[in-house]
Amino acid sequence: MKLLRIKLPDNLIEPFRSLRQGFEISFYPNLNNKNIEPIGFAGLNGSGKSNLLELISEVFYYLDSMHLEFPTAAVTDEKDFGFEIDYALPFSSDNPFIDYDDPIGFKLEESYFIVRASKAVKSRAAYQITSIGQYELQRQFESTRNVKDKKIQSIQGIWKSINSGDRNIAALLPKKIFAYTSGQNEQLSNCYLKMQFHYFNDYKNKIKAGSKFYFDSSRLFFCDNNASSSIFIANYLLANQNALKQLNKIIEVKELHSFRITIRYADLSGSEIKFNQDLERKIEALKSCATTLIEKGVGAKKILTLDYLVTGATKLAFQRQLTDSPFELYKTFYELEMQNFYTVPDEVLDMATDGPSWLVLSDELPKQNPNDLIFRIEKVFVKKNGIDKIIKYKGLSDGEHQFIQVVGMILMMEESGCLFLLDEPDTHYNPLWRSQLVNTINNVVKYKTTSKKRLLRLQEIVITTHSPFVISDLKQKNVYIFKKENNIVKFTQCHFQTYGASSSIILDEIFGKSDSISEMARQELKTLVGKVKSLSQLSEVASILNNQFGESVDKFEYYNQLRTIKESLERKTKSKIKKN
């Protein structure tokens, strides 16, 4: 999956966050590239780059909602929201909308086809598809001046319209969309939480009618701190060992030692809950993989405790009894964790699904007592290189958790056609890890879980960052610099080659930070040098610079200023001696 363009209508009634009516941005991916080349949004805090991630999320939330069996009026009756988005999706031989003999120009050897999804204000979404070559031809015509309107119309005619009411419309959407934020970006998480609540409400309604149904979780996944353990366990049980070695080079976790799963059977009111046949089957599989199993109570008082001592036999049991896919195991955990909504009051669930768009859901959700949760992963222990005893997974540093979560999320999702939206994923990394993030991502995606052969992942990663080390691993055409002027978000495509550029150049060109040191130290250096009025003072200041400040380009420049001051003072002294 590759993003190509996103636009807000000129007649949008209200701006989307800080993105005004008519906002438009285009992307220029290399569709033949074998590596992951992330898109980077850079800029100072408050420049609007995260708002664009939120817009992309909201667009796909809307599109995903439209084809579901249980969309709510809050989505289907949305009138004020509008957009146009172009993206490339990998070919699939079973795609119901693509006829390879169609004159529109699809070819088996092409990696992608193009989707245009649009929603005008006060109307529903519409879809069109075309081939890469025809899309590029259209862009070429549209970017050429003095082209006759009828020519543009003839080029636009190559788009093939799709009935938005078609039950197969999901085939034109990204396979999965993952979002992550290192901070508390509640706005980014909003639509993902809403989608979870929609699915849970549908699940509850079907449970009332009977347990014999299969339940597929959303294509939208928000990976918060609660997901960290699930991602870690799924990968360290089932992921390709060569891929894990790439991750372990950074975090130095040797292996997963043990963990516990606890499942309760009582909702908020104390009534017994029922699982559907699919989750019951998965729970039975989890039980058969456990090292020890304790089952207490019956009905609403039933508590199931599963302990796992991870050995080769444990991993083999998971592969045979449940799945050999890290993502499928993570999805099992995700679906079980969704049962924790049974402990959320009904009025909160109703507000979450049908409330106004400005509502920040994470503010409304009550803090849950861990002992009341339906599903819980706990007591996760790991082995680290250089440490003899096992340690708690929670005992790892914030940076280690963040690296495991971000890279692990991408590692486990092997399916092509996925989109990852990462909001400042590097905030807790040291400079070395920041410089290794993009390279590590490319190293872990080379492997399939069940094979040593290279896996070509046709995926898209979008990163917001303040780190020059991350930007230095991004190609110039993929870096966008954001700033806000008069409360209007503006951006420019980067004007210099970022790939391999030094951090000092990136700091200067993108963030306007020309100094190589912090502001407090720079101001003190400037004040010290500015006080020099005599040779004795100069000697004293030179000693302070030498002993109390670390080495830097700025310090060297101030030494040069002292040298110039010294020469000036010596000339004045010689001049006075001559006069006398």
Mean pLDDT across 256-273: 95
Q: Kindly tell me if the per-residue pLDDT of 536 is higher than 70.
A: yes
How far, CA to CA in Å, does 472 sit from each of 167, 425, 436, 512, 564?
44, 15, 10, 16, 36
Say what the pLDDT of residue 5 is. Answer: 97
SS3 category, 36: coil
Say what the pLDDT of residue 166 is. Answer: 85
If phi > 0 it is left, if psi is from -120 to 50 it is alpha, else beta; for residue 27 that is beta
Q: Kindly tell me if the per-residue pLDDT of 520 is higher than 90.
A: no
Say what the pLDDT of residue 98 is. Answer: 85
Q: Which residue has the higher pLDDT, 51 or 92?
A: 51
Q: Kindly tell me if the per-residue pLDDT of 411 is higher than 90.
A: yes
Sheet hosting strand 303-309, strand order edge to edge: 292-296, 303-309, 253-264, 375-384, 391-392
Q: Kindly tell me if the per-residue pLDDT of 158 is higher than 90.
A: no
For residue range 235-252, list pLDDT tens digits in order.
999 999 999 999 999 999
Q: Kindly tell me if the per-residue pLDDT of 70 is higher than 80.
A: no
Q: Kindly tell me if the per-residue pLDDT of 145 is higher than 60.
A: no
Say what the pLDDT of residue 76 is. Answer: 66
- Stretch among 190-204, 355-369, 564-578 having the lowest mean pLDDT: 355-369
- Stretch among 449-453, 486-490, 494-498 having the lowest mean pLDDT: 449-453
Q: Kindly tell me if the per-residue pLDDT of 504 is higher than 60.
A: yes
- Stretch among 99-108, 157-166, 172-181, 539-548 having the lowest mean pLDDT: 99-108
Say what the pLDDT of residue 184 is. Answer: 61
Say what the pLDDT of residue 186 is. Answer: 73
Q: Kindly tell me if the per-residue pLDDT of 256 is higher than 90.
A: yes
Say what the pLDDT of residue 152 is. Answer: 59
Degrees to nearest 5, angle at CA 218 with 217 and 223: 100
Say what the pLDDT of residue 124 is. Answer: 87
> How buried is 171 (Cβ within 10 angstroms: 0-12 exposed, 13-18 middle, 19+ buried)?
middle
Output the six-digit token pair for 321: 């009894």
| Average pLDDT score, the chain | 88
> Do 50 and 455 meet the contact criterion of CB atoms below 8 Å apart?
no
SS3 category, 178: strand
Q: Kindly tell me if the per-residue pLDDT of 452 is higher than 60.
A: no
Measured CA to CA, the distance from residue 393 to residue 258 in angstroms comes to 10
The model's confidence at residue 550, banded by pLDDT at 50, 70 and 90, is: confident
Mean pLDDT across 53-60: 96
Mean pLDDT across 336-353: 87
Q: Kindly tell me if the per-residue pLDDT of 496 is higher than 70.
A: yes
- Stretch among 156-165, 292-301, 396-405 having the lowest mean pLDDT: 156-165
Of the chain, the percentage scoring pLDDT greater than 90 comes to 52
The model's confidence at residue 74, banded by pLDDT at 50, 70 and 90, is: low
Say what the pLDDT of residue 153 is. Answer: 61
Entry pTM: 0.89
End-to-end CA distance of the chain: 83
Which of 315-329, 424-438, 448-462: highest mean pLDDT?
315-329
How far, CA to CA in Å, does 477 sit from each of 34, 325, 467?
17, 34, 17
Which of 205-209, 368-372, 417-421, 546-550: highest mean pLDDT?
417-421
Comparing C-alpha atoms, which of 60, 53, 49, 51 is closest to residue 83?
60
- Bridge partners (DSSP) of residue 220 are 177
Contacts of 240 (CB under 8 A, 6+ apart): 447, 448, 449, 450, 451, 452
